[in-house]
């Protein structure tokens, strides 16, 4: 399951179409509500993801996996792309947020791991939201860099940890 999800994430990072960001991952305990980038005119607010499932997973779900640091970095990259692709005129809607949500739901359906992955996505989003209001050559460069790094992280996780 992890291998398939990471392969999909890698493919999405390598083959990107136009995008438009619409906000953070927003769960009931999230510190901030979803906010569209200020450069976007009157964008619809992001739909919150489905409510977390009841604690039906074994307690092992809260223990860190050996690849958690890499998954958190991938979530952070997806958050950065979610913001940057939106201000740079791409028209992907919730593409990067949905990819991060699928990654999080598959790997950490509840508990501290889930919270850490969501925080990583939001950190990536906010890092660029604080600095960029419009697309610049530096933002385009950051997009290319994050697409390459995200694909590399996804390939490395798959090669190292998938059976």
How much is the pLDDT for 22? 40
Cβ atoms within 10 Å of 20's Cβ, excluding its own: 20
By C-alpha distance, which of 36, 35, 7, 161 is closest to 99? 7
How much is the pLDDT for 80? 95
Distance in angstroms (rounded) separating the CA atoms of residues 93 and 97: 9
For 24, phi then psi, to 5°, come to -80, 170
Q: Domain segments of the chain: what residues?
A: 1-17+66-163
- Dig out the tokens for 36 from the structure: 């569209």
Distance in angstroms (rounded) separating the CA atoms of residues 146 and 153: 10
163 residues of the chain, pLDDT tens digit each: 554 555 445 445 544 443 333 445 554 333 343 444 444 443 444 444 444 444 444 444 557 788 999 999 999 999 999 999 999 987 888 899 999 999 999 987 788 889 999 999 999 999 999 999 999 999 999 999 999 999 999 999 989 887 6
């Amino acid at each position: 399951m992890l291998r398939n999800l990471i392969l999909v994430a890698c493919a999405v990072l390598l083959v990107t179409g136009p995008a438009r960001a619409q906000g953070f991952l927003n769960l009931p305990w999230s510190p901030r509500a979803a906010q569209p980038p200020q450069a976007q005119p009157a964008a619809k607010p992001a739909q919150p993801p489905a409510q977390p499932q009841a604690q039906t997973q074994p307690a092992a779900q809260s223990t860190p996996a050996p690849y958690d640091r890499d998954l958190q970095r991938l979530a952070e990259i997806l958050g950065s792309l979610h913001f940057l692709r939106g201000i740079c005129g791409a028209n992907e809607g919730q593409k990067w947020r949905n990819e991060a949500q699928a990654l999080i739901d598959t790997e950490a359906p509840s508990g501290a791991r889930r919270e850490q992955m969501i925080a990583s996505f939001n950190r990536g989003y906010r890092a660029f939201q604080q600095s960029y209001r419009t697309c610049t050559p530096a933002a385009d460069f950051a997009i290319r860099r994050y697409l390459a790094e995200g694909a590399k992280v996804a390939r490395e996780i798959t090669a190292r940890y998938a059976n």
